């Protein structure tokens, strides 16, 4: 796997980079101030973190990122409907400011933080990850974020905390999908604590050099690159530390089809289709799916001794 530091131009279209600082000043900055969430001074400190010192790493073996129009136009965000084009069509309604995230459960210091406060906890990194959807398609996405563990450390998990539950927003007034019963809302996902604290687990605030489009889970979402895409819950409002394994929305909906771990694994088929290969969005041919989505060198140790067919 290539993990050298490519130049910005290798990652993101140059015009996006050129626009980026201006965009962040006007968009994030103006949005936060308008929301009354922060005073102007700290607001402008945050966008600067995207700048010169930001680290950029390719975790996708030098592959070209999936074109922006597919990343933002072909989505799963069932709160806005089950068709791939529904989120791009409807998610602009999502109200993202002000936005609060509750850190709760088995922690020493439970706290409610504004999304902009979280954004300022650490400098943003650009990380290009493969994203493999359980449905058999995949993308390569340049995310902006920092390791989730930066945030988790802030609340000091207790020794009894073994799992972390992630809860997405429910806004009935902006989300037509939550009126239906496709899933038991809110969208909930879970990780074991060591998975959540793994350095590859990202809390993302942006992609392609810009603030997250709403259809991709603004203002902040999880990205767990070695698991099927559904583990990467969007538009988070709560992160809860628990002793017992959380039951995700997908486990409740179809327990035979979706397990807790959901690691990308070409040898363990979905009950209704094979997981051995995938199609990168924008490409015609199929390519073989990689164990742990190609991140085995980093994450396989988390599962040593476990039967991955049983713990699917
Ligand atoms: N998060 C919420 N809240 N609701 C969803 O429907 N879909 C998941 C995941 N996170 C989903 C979600 C699925 S199935 C995938 S593949 C990824 O988001 C897609 O992320 P993307 O649209 O940014 O590519």
In a domain, 48, yes or no: yes
- H/E segment holding residue 48: helix 40-48
Residue nearest to atom 5 of ligand 1 (CA): 77
Look at the chain and report how many structural domains it folds into: 1
Ligand 1 neighbourhood includes 201 CB (under 6 angstroms): no
Out of 224, 234, 264, 270, mutate this one to test ligand 1's pocket (max ligand atoms within 8 Å of CB): namely 234
Please give the pLDDT value at position 50: 56
- H/E segment holding residue 153: helix 148-154
What spacing in Å lies between the alpha carbon of 242 and ligand 1's midpoint?
A: 23
Ligand 1 neighbourhood includes 187 CB (under 6 angstroms): yes
In a domain, 182, yes or no: yes
In whole angstroms, give the CA distance from residue 234 to residue 79: 10
Ligand 1 neighbourhood includes 78 CB (under 6 angstroms): yes
pLDDT in tens, 33-91: 333 333 333 333 444 345 555 689 999 999 999 999 999 999 999 999 999 999 999 99
Ligand 1 neighbourhood includes 75 CB (under 6 angstroms): yes
**For 113, phi and psi rounded to 5 degrees?**
-125, 145
Confidence band of 209 (pLDDT split at 50, 70, 90) = confident
In a domain, 33, yes or no: yes
Please give the pLDDT value at position 53: 56
Ligand 1 neighbourhood includes 77 CB (under 6 angstroms): yes
**For 300, phi and psi rounded to 5 degrees?**
-55, -35
Average pLDDT, rounded, for the chain = 87
Question: Listing from the earlier edge strand, what are the strands of the sheet with 163-168?
Answer: 111-114, 100-105, 236-242, 163-168, 188-192
Spatial contact of 295 and 265, defined as CB atoms under 8 Å apart: no
In whole angstroms, give the CA distance from residue 127 to residue 119: 16
Ligand 1 neighbourhood includes 76 CB (under 6 angstroms): yes
Please give the pLDDT value at position 54: 67
In whole angstroms, give the CA distance from residue 166 to residue 21: 30
The CATH number of whichever domain residue 294 belongs to comes to: 3.90.420.10
In a domain, 125, yes or no: yes
Ligand 1 neighbourhood includes 232 CB (under 6 angstroms): yes
Cα distances (Å, whole numbers) of residue 284 to 269, 279, 281: 22, 7, 8
Question: Looking at 3-7, 47-51, 278-282, which range is the least confident one?
Answer: 3-7
In whole angstroms, give the CA distance from residue 177 to residue 188: 15
More confident residue, 159 or 9: 159
Spatial contact of 229 and 93, defined as CB atoms under 8 Å apart: no
Q: Is the pLDDT of residue 243 over 50?
A: yes
Please give the pLDDT value at position 15: 44
Spatial contact of 80 and 91, defined as CB atoms under 8 Å apart: yes
More confident residue, 293 or 12: 293
In a domain, 2, yes or no: no
Atom number in ligand 1 closest to CA 228 = 16
Confidence band of 17 (pLDDT split at 50, 70, 90) = very low
Please give the pLDDT value at position 295: 98
Please give the pLDDT value at position 281: 97
Please give the pLDDT value at position 208: 92
In a domain, 14, yes or no: yes
Ligand 1 neighbourhood includes 263 CB (under 6 angstroms): no
Nearest CA-CA partner of 262 in 225, 232, 241, 231? 231
Q: Is the pLDDT of residue 216 over 90?
A: yes
What spacing in Å lies between the alpha carbon of 206 and ligand 1's midpoint?
A: 15
**pTM given for the model:** 0.87
In whole angstroms, give the CA distance from residue 41 to residue 170: 31
Q: Residue 99: which residues within 8 A CB-CB, separation 6 or more?
A: 114, 115, 219, 220, 237
Please give the pLDDT value at position 34: 38
Mean pLDDT of 296-310: 98
CA 186 to chain centre: 16
Mean pLDDT of 241-265: 98
Spatial contact of 220 and 286, defined as CB atoms under 8 Å apart: no
Ligand 1 neighbourhood includes 234 CB (under 6 angstroms): yes
Residue nearest to atom 23 of ligand 1 (CA): 216
What spacing in Å lies between the alpha carbon of 308 and ligand 1's midpoint?
A: 23
Residue nearest to atom 6 of ligand 1 (CA): 77
Nearest CA-CA partner of 200 in 99, 61, 297? 297
Spatial contact of 163 and 248, defined as CB atoms under 8 Å apart: no
Ligand 1 neighbourhood includes 66 CB (under 6 angstroms): no
In a domain, 1, yes or no: no
Percentage of the chain surpassing pLDDT 90?
A: 81
Q: Which domain holds residue 86?
A: 8-303
Mean pLDDT of 100-117: 97
Please give the pLDDT value at position 146: 97
In a domain, 277, yes or no: yes
- H/E segment holding residue 279: strand 277-280
């Amino acid at each position: 796997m290539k993990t050298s530091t490519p130049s910005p131009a290798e990652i993101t279209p140059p015009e996006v980079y050129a626009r980026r600082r201006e965009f962040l000043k006007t968009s994030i900055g103006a949005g936060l101030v308008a929301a009354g969430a922060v005073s102007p001074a700290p607001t402008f400190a945050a966008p600067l973190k995207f700048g010169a010192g930001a680290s950029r790493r390719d975790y996708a073996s030098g592959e070209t990122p999936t074109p922006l129009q597919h990343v933002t136009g072909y989505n799963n965000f069932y709160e806005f409907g089950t068709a791939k084009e529904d989120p791009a069509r409807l998610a602009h309604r999502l109200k993202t400011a002000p936005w609060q995230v509750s850190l709760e459960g088995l922690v020493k210091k439970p706290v409610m933080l504004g999304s902009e406060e979280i954004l300022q906890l650490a400098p943003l990194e650009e990380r290009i990850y493969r994203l493999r959807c359980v449905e058999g398609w995949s993308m390569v996405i340049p995310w902006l974020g920092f390791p989730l563990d930066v945030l988790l450390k802030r609340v000091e998990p207790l020794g009894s905390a073994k799992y972390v539950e992630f809860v997405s927003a429910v806004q009935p007034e902006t989300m037509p999908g939550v009126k239906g019963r496709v899933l038991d809302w809110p969208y909930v996902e879970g990780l074991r604590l060591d998975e959540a604290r793994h350095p590859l687990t990202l809390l993302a605030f942006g992609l392609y050099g810009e603030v997250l489009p709403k259809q991709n889970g603004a203002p902040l979402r999880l990205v767990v690159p070695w698991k099927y895409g559904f583990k990467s819950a969007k538009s988070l409002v709560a992160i809860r530390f628990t002793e017992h394994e959380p039951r995700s929305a997908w486990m409740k909906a179809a327990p035979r089809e979706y397990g807790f771990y959901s690691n990308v694994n070409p040898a363990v088929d979905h009950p209704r289709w094979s997981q051995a290969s995938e199609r990168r969005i924008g490409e015609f041919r199929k390519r073989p799916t990689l164990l742990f989505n190609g991140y085995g060198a980093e994450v396989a140790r988390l599962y040593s001794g476990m039967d991955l067919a049983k713990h699917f």
